[in-house]
Structure formats: structure tokens, C-alpha cells
Chains A and B, each alone.
Chain A
């Protein structure tokens, strides 16, 4: 793909480092709260894949849209949601971003271009092509980025959407986060596909892959694709090779991979990799980085405390948003 990106400034990188640590600490706080029974239902953590979220937050312009499946906490934060309404939503509280109606899988923040938050594997893909269709219809000079997992690439929804995006020149960038497991099933066991990104080829869609465990590589690949799509209104398909360090969801003990395998994956952790880069290039000292970490740990203790104390939704909320006008049935 054409390189139209610019190199990030050192202060941007330090801010992005802070974002990645923020995402990690948010997810760890959520995991603890889940263990305490304060977060309910399904809860899917993005730990290990923070570089992709941080890069998206940096690469997108305010008018662009981001939509994904259900592993989304960091994506909402990356687009501009504050920690508190995100955590409150996980706790099911009235002060959550959607007042406790959504939960962990359904964070939304359309004012900041975050369009959810969808629970069915691949469901967000046709929706994304429609969002891009609307952007093009309005000549908005905007792009929709659609994240999906390797588990979604065999859904007909993706193939139908790639075709539609291509025939109608829709400004949508599909990014497959290939963390190699659809829940507990290794993608290689259930796939006859070539490398996933080559799925672009039969649909005449530009495609490529990048190291989703590396912030610089992620920034470069995502910025290039987004800006190229903005310019050409042609869709693109990227594959981010990445690892999730936790189970599929909080209820997954992860017995399908060995401890050694997991340790190997953790050696590619994007946060220490960027820390090393920053220290090596004199952009920050280790002490500075440690201070960021410490500050965020304290911050999330307060965020969790606030979420615990936040009020439950009123009973009236139960049927407040089924239809535009009050529900009769």
C-alpha cells in the first residue's frame, strides 16, 4: 500500500505510550472488578492488542467512524471516551456511556465517532459498509474503520460486504485483528483461506498486513490505509497480526495454548517495546515512564471506586428507548 503517513513526533509517541498504559490498566481494573462480581455477563479484554487501539485513536480524524465487535473497551477510550463513563457502563450504572443498557460489549460514543460495540461475530461488517455508504452519499470526506477478529472472516457477511464496498467504491477500511484464535479454536483449524488479508485480492481491494504488536508499525499501516481510502474512496483490508494475553472472555481459562506459547506471545508485548524505543531515542527516561504507570494505577483505583458508588439506572429506563415514541406493547 502507498505510504502517505507521516512519522509521529516524539511527544506524540509519549502520549501514545501513555494511552497504551491507560488501556492496559483499564482492562486490568476491569478484570479485577469482574473477579469481584462487580461486572456482569461477558467481558472481553483487549490486553496485548493495545497498540492497534492507540494507533487508531491517533490515525483517525474526528469525522471518521470506528466500529467493532465486542472487544472494545480500549477502542472507545481511544476515540475519546473518558474512563469513568466507560467503567460505569461495565458496572451497569446510570452514569455509564449508555446508561447501563449496553454493558461491556456495547459501549457507544457517536459524538466521538465510536459506533460500538456489537455482539454477534461479523455483525458490524455490513453496518460498517452502510456507514461508509452514508459518508460517501453526503460527500463527507470521511472514512469508516471496521475492526473484526479472525473468527469473523468466514462469515458470509464479510464476503458480501467486501464485494459491495468494492463495486460501490466505499470509504471503508476493514482491519482484521488476527490474534489466531476464534474463542478457543485456532484459526488454522477452521480456515481454508490464504493469509487473511489476501481476501482483498478477489474483490480487487488493496490489502496488506502489519505487526499489531508494534505501535509504530500499526500507526504506519493504519494511517496509510485510512488516508489512501480518504483520497481514493476505495476500500482497504488490513490484517493485524497480534496476540491477546488473556482468554477470549473472562470465563475462558485458555487451555488451548500452552504456557510456553503464551510466554512467547507476551515477549512481543507492545508496551515494553515502545518503552524501549522511547528510552533508546531519548524521548523519555525510564523514571518518567514508571511515573506514568504509577499515576494511572492510582487513577484507576479511583475510577473503580466511583463506578462502585454510582447509582443504578431508574426502573423507567427499562422501556425508555425501545422506540422513538413510548412503546405500546
Chain B
């Protein structure tokens, strides 16, 4: 095991895959000479050269679309969008081209692209830079969507995403880049897409979360157990499409109680889909309605006290846990 930052784990995954497969290349705003807006691509230009690590103009549709075309043309592009707020300009390339090409060609063509970048509320960045837009992508058949919480998961899942034959959208929470954790030294360390993980086993209530919200739960679960007296199970789906439905249902059937914590708006969200899955697949096992904790249903305010009010916090999570346990 080696302890490293989340950003270093991502960097290591790209470095390993670029070494392993010369069709893998990295392209995006500030990824080369600046070493990445969040320093995720630190050192890659020096190691792999300007043919494989390319700075782009600020033109998301143009360079994401180019990446999609390069993937259709047989390469394995990693396209970094500085944040997913900006990736909306490239949705045509992802939704209309990347996600459709295998289907529309009856399998004659594929698009093994990774679109990765920062998501979520970074800290007082206000309404346009603090969004969790995962459900824009999880809605689309043809895409895979990944959102890890720990450095080890980030490392193992990014390697899978790069090797995956289908387009994969990879969400990295901005507030996680500087967090630390152990990553296995094993040169073959890889985590399959579509497989969730129990971050803490418990028997009383299943709390489902991913990305920064799961990080917050891992860091504070002892406190929550102490305060509620409940044995909490933490379930991280890690991949948001395809969801590890079996793991979620197995856990909820065991505990009979589910809380979904999500840093995104509640309407038409991934959490809503998970709640639907649970009512369809574990209704008879539920001792209480599924509870959800979301970002408040408003654009993100700037003032730090208001931002804090908008995001899921431990108090709201504890309240939801108490609610499903009738405490």
C-alpha cells in the first residue's frame, strides 16, 4: 500500500495506462504545460511528449467532439474537461455521437473514450461552478458513469474506464483531489466498472452515497453510530451506470432501512433511480420509506453560510437515519 492524494491516484492510473497502451492519449484545457488545472496530469507531458498530452483551446464541443472522433477512429482518448459545468457545451458529442455510435452501426464502430473532470461544489464557487450533473449522463443508454470516493477506487476505476470498450464519463469531486488514502502497490490493481463496495458493514441501516458524500460518511460514520446507536452500513455504488443493483438490494434486504445521500438536486437524479430500484426490489423488506438527503433544490449560493446550508451535512444525514429507524 502507498498513501497518496486522490489526484495522484488518478495521475498514476493515466500514467500506467499510457505506458501500457500507446493508443491512450490525454487532451484538454491546461493538461500539458500547466500540468492540469487541478494538477491531475502533473508530469505527463514530460513523460509522454506533446503528441500524447495536448493542450486545447477553450472550445469544449470542438475538443470533446474531436476526442469522440478519435475514439471512433480506433484510439483511446482521455479527454479532461476542467469541470463538468463546462462539459455541457459538448453534450452533443457525448450524447448524440459517443453514446449512439455502437448502436447505430450495429456494433461496426465503438467509442472507447473517457471524459473526465471535476464535479460538485468546490467551495464558494457559486451557482455556475458548483453543480453535480451526473444524471445528465446516467440518463443516457450507451454511456457508463463512474464517481469514486477514495484514491484506491479512483485509481482502479480510472484504469477500467480507460480500457472499457464503451464511452465512460468519470466524475472527480473537486473537494476530493486533496484527500489522501492507501492505494494498493499491485501493478495490476484494477476495479471493475459496475461493482459497488461496502465501505462499512452494518446491520441496522444502509446509507448509500458516492463521491464526496461517501468520503464525508467514511470520515464521520463512527460519530453517527455513536449518536444514533445504530449499526450503519455504508454502501458506495462507485459506478452510477451501470448500478450494482444486486449489492444495493442485498444490503437493503438485510437492514430493512435505506438512506440515500446525494450531492445533486433531488429531481430526476441518480438517488431517485436508486430509491425506485429499492421499492421495486426490496419493498417487502423495508421497515420504513426510503429517505433521501440531497443538495437543496436551488442554484448554489456564494455566501459560505448559505452554501453550507445548501449541501448535505451530518445533521441532515443523522436526521434521515433517525427517520428511517423511527428514532
A: residues with CB less than 8 A from B are: 65, 98-99, 101-102, 106, 108-111, 115-120, 123, 125-135, 137-138, 156-157, 160-161, 163-164, 167-168, 317, 320-324, 327-329
Contact of A117 (CB < 8 Å), options: B56, B104, B144: B104
Smallest CB gap from B95: residue in A: A120
By a CB distance below 8 angstroms, the chain B residues around A99 are 106
| Least Cβ–Cβ distance between A115 and chain B, in angstroms | 7
Whether a CB of chain A sits under 8 angstroms from the CB of B73 is yes
Cα of A111 to Cα of B105 in the assembled complex, Å: 12
By a CB distance below 8 angstroms, the chain B residues around A127 are 65, 68-69, 72, 93, 97
By a CB distance below 8 angstroms, the chain B residues around A327 are 141, 242
Given contacts A108-B108, A126-B93, A134 and B75 within 8 Å (CB-CB): yes
Whether a CB of chain A sits under 8 angstroms from the CB of B123 is no
**Chain B residues numbered 18-40 whose CB sits less than 8 Å from any CB in chain A:** 23, 25
Cα of A322 to Cα of B144 in the assembled complex, Å: 11
CB atoms of B194 and A328 under 8 A apart: yes
| Least Cβ–Cβ distance between A89 and chain B, in angstroms | 10
Inter-chain residue pair count (beta carbon < 8 A): 151
Cα of A131 to Cα of B245 in the assembled complex, Å: 37
Cα of A144 to Cα of B240 in the assembled complex, Å: 36
25 pairs from A and B in contact (CB 8 Å cutoff): A98-B108, A101-B105, A115-B109, A119-B96, A126-B62, A126-B68, A127-B69, A127-B93, A129-B66, A129-B69, A130-B71, A130-B77, A131-B72, A133-B75, A160-B57, A160-B65, A161-B62, A161-B66, A163-B57, A163-B62, A164-B63, A167-B57, A322-B102, A323-B141, A328-B243
By a CB distance below 8 angstroms, the chain B residues around A157 are 61-62, 65, 92
Contact of B243 (CB < 8 Å), options: A98, A120, A329: A329
Cα of A156 to Cα of B63 in the assembled complex, Å: 12
**Chain B residues numbered 163-197 whose CB sits less than 8 Å from any CB in chain A:** 164-166, 194
CB atoms of B105 and A324 under 8 A apart: no
CB atoms of B109 and A110 under 8 A apart: yes
Given contacts A126-B93, A129-B69, A328 and B109 within 8 Å (CB-CB): no
By a CB distance below 8 angstroms, the chain B residues around A323 are 102, 141-142, 144, 166
CB atoms of A118 and B57 under 8 A apart: no
Whether a CB of chain A sits under 8 angstroms from the CB of B74 is yes
Smallest CB gap from B110: residue in A: A324
Whether a CB of chain A sits under 8 angstroms from the CB of B103 is yes
By a CB distance below 8 angstroms, the chain B residues around A317 are 106
Smallest CB gap from B67: residue in A: A130
CB atoms of B245 and A137 under 8 A apart: no
B: residues with CB less than 8 A from A are: 23, 25, 51, 54, 56-57, 59, 61-75, 77, 92-93, 96-97, 102-110, 141-142, 144, 164-166, 194, 241-243, 245
Contact of B70 (CB < 8 Å), options: A102, A120, A133, A163: A133
| Least Cβ–Cβ distance between A96 and chain B, in angstroms | 9
CB atoms of A137 and B25 under 8 A apart: yes
CB atoms of B103 and A133 under 8 A apart: no
CB atoms of B105 and A133 under 8 A apart: no
Cα of A88 to Cα of B67 in the assembled complex, Å: 32
CB atoms of A324 and B166 under 8 A apart: yes
Given contacts A110-B108, A134-B73, A329-B242, A156 and B66 within 8 Å (CB-CB): no
Contact of B241 (CB < 8 Å), options: A161, A164, A321, A329: A329
Cα of A137 to Cα of B76 in the assembled complex, Å: 11
By a CB distance below 8 angstroms, the chain B residues around A167 are 57
Given contacts A125-B65, A157-B62, A130 and B105 within 8 Å (CB-CB): no
Given contacts A133-B73, A164-B57, A321 and B106 within 8 Å (CB-CB): yes
By a CB distance below 8 angstroms, the chain B residues around A137 are 23, 25, 51, 70, 75
Contact of B104 (CB < 8 Å), options: A101, A135, A138: A101
CB atoms of A161 and B70 under 8 A apart: no
| A-B CB proximity, top 10 nearest | A130-B69, A126-B65, A160-B62, A134-B73, A127-B69, A324-B165, A160-B59, A130-B70, A130-B66, A98-B106
| Least Cβ–Cβ distance between B113 and chain A, in angstroms | 9
Cα of A138 to Cα of B105 in the assembled complex, Å: 23
CB atoms of A133 and B66 under 8 A apart: yes
Cα of A137 to Cα of B25 in the assembled complex, Å: 10
By a CB distance below 8 angstroms, the chain A residues around B104 are 98, 101-102, 106, 108, 116-117
| Least Cβ–Cβ distance between A249 and chain B, in angstroms | 19
Cα of A161 to Cα of B245 in the assembled complex, Å: 40
| Least Cβ–Cβ distance between A70 and chain B, in angstroms | 12
Smallest CB gap from B23: residue in A: A137
Smallest CB gap from B73: residue in A: A134
Given contacts A126-B93, A130-B67, A134-B69, A101 and B75 within 8 Å (CB-CB): no
Smallest CB gap from A137: residue in B: B75
| Least Cβ–Cβ distance between B148 and chain A, in angstroms | 20
Smallest CB gap from B99: residue in A: A322
Contact of B105 (CB < 8 Å), options: A110, A123, A160, A328: A110
Smallest CB gap from A98: residue in B: B106
By a CB distance below 8 angstroms, the chain A residues around B51 are 137
| Least Cβ–Cβ distance between A308 and chain B, in angstroms | 21
Smallest CB gap from A105: residue in B: B104
| Least Cβ–Cβ distance between B88 and chain A, in angstroms | 13
Given contacts A134-B69, A137-B51, A167-B57, A129 and B92 within 8 Å (CB-CB): no
Known: A322-B102, A328-B242. 15 other contacts (CB 8 A): A108-B104, A111-B108, A125-B65, A126-B69, A127-B68, A138-B75, A157-B65, A160-B59, A161-B66, A164-B57, A322-B103, A327-B141, A327-B242, A328-B243, A328-B245
By a CB distance below 8 angstroms, the chain A residues around B23 are 137
Smallest CB gap from B245: residue in A: A328
By a CB distance below 8 angstroms, the chain A residues around B194 are 328
